[in-house]
Each structure stands twice: as structure tokens, then as C-alpha cells.
Amino acid sequence: MKRAVILASGNGSLAQAIIDEPQLGGQIVAVVSDRADARVLERARTSAIPTHVIEMKSDRKVWDKEILDCVNNLKPDLVISAGFMRILSPDFVQTFPTINSHPALLPLFPGAHAVRDALAAGASETGTTIHWVDQGIDTGKIIMQARVSILPGDNEASLHERIKEVERGLIVAAIKEVLPTLESRHG
Ligand code: GAR
């Protein structure tokens, strides 16, 4: 069974969709968060999935090493960034095959405020992208995308909620596609 680790910072509705998928093709061996109060940790515990919290340090390099060591101990074949609001170090992304779910149609609207930026640009549609994580910010190779219309009267919260409805299905589909292509690194 392939081993996957989820990274998430907040609510964790994407993580929940992944955890709930019976045909994922792999096992979620842990959820790792940078926030001790993240709701995703409760969701993981409810499903008896081990959790780890690596809070940001004043010295960013210390945090980079802590999260790399933590995830390394979990021996993942795949790391899934699902609502994780931190940039991973070059060392991290070179060590673990890592995918990320982003709430826009990359390369449009990279960064932490993708939904707000799409609205501010006056776009008529946006969407969601699952991509490999490289050393840039939301620049890695695209795996899958799905479009979402921007409706008159949408605000950041309403649009983000509609994107996430699509995103939950897309991340699960991407994991199912990607996991069988990865070499099992841990027998
Ligand atoms: C998702 O829309 C995800 O794409 C976004 O956070 C949300 C998490 O929702 N991630 C980013 O913006 C990363 N730059 P959730 O906490 O309900 O799973």
C-alpha cells in the first residue's frame, strides 16, 4: 500500500474528502499541520489518523528542517498539500514527490490570495488546479484543472466555497491518478 501524508493549515475540507475516499489507492499515514488549532487535526483524529504539528519558528530554517524530518519519519510515497499555507523548502520538494491544490486556474492567480485576486481582476471564470510542487510559488507541472464560473454578486467567501466543491473531487481524482505511477519507496 502506497503511503501518503497530508499537509493542511486550517479547516481541512479537502483533507476530509481525501480521507473519506474508499478507493484512494493508498493509505493516509498522517496529517501534518503548522497550526495547533487547525480543524483538520480534529478531522484526522476522528478518523484515527495520526497528527503532527510543526509550528512556524522565528528561524525559518529551523522549521524547514523540523517539517522535513517529521515527514521523512512518516516515509511517504506522496505528500499532498491540501490547504497548506506555507512555502515548502527546496530540500523538502526535492526529497518528496509533492502535489498541491490551488484555488485558481494556474498560471493565473498564483499565491495566497488566488480567489480574491481573480475577483479583483474582473475575471468571468476561475477554477482550481492540482499541480506538482517545485521550488517556485505555484509554478510546478499541472496535473489536472477544472473551471468554475464567477457569478454576479460573488464575494470571496461564496466563490471560494464553490471552488472548493469542485476542488474536493479534483484532488481525489489527481491522487488516484498519481499514486499508481509512483515507485513505492518503502516496500
Ligand atoms: C483550498 O481552496 C485550497 O486550494 C487553498 O486553501 C483551501 C483549503 O480549504 N489553498 C491555498 O490557497 C494554498 N495556497 P480547506 O481548509 O477547507 O481544505
- Quick: pLDDT tens for 82-108: 999 999 999 999 999 999 999 999 999
Phi and psi at 5, nearest 5°, equal: -115, 135
Round to whole Å and give the CA distance between 103 and 166.
10
CA distance 25 to 10: 25
Q: Catalytic residue at 113?
A: no
CB count within 10 Å of CB 115 equals 24
Q: Is the CB of 81 under 6 A from ligand 1?
A: no
Q: Please state, in angstroms and rounded to a whole number, the distance separating the CA atoms of residues 120 and 112.
A: 14
- The pTM score is 0.97
Per-residue pLDDT tens over the stretch 39-84 = 999 999 999 999 999 999 999 999 999 999 999 999 999 999 999 9
**pLDDT given at position 173:** 98
* Mean pLDDT in residue range 3-9: 98
**Is residue 187's pLDDT more than 70?**
no
Confidence at residue 29, expressed as pLDDT on a 0 to 100 scale? 98
Question: Measured from the CB, is residue 127 less than 6 Å from ligand 1?
Answer: no
| Confidence category of residue 120, pLDDT binned at 50, 70, 90 | very high
If you measure from the C-alpha of residue 43 to the centroid of ligand 1, how many angstroms do you get, rounded to a whole number? 15
Distance 69 CA to ligand 1 centre (A): 24
What number is the average pLDDT over the span 24-28? Answer: 97
**pLDDT tens readout for residues 128-157:** 999 999 999 999 999 999 999 999 999 999
In CATH, what class is 2-181?
alpha beta
Instruction: Report CA(29)–ligand 1 centroid distance (Å).
Output: 20
Q: What is the mean pLDDT of the chain?
A: 97
CA distance 90 to 71: 14
pLDDT of residue 183: 87
Could you give the C-alpha distances from 62 to 69, 70, 137, in angstroms and in order? Answer: 11, 12, 21
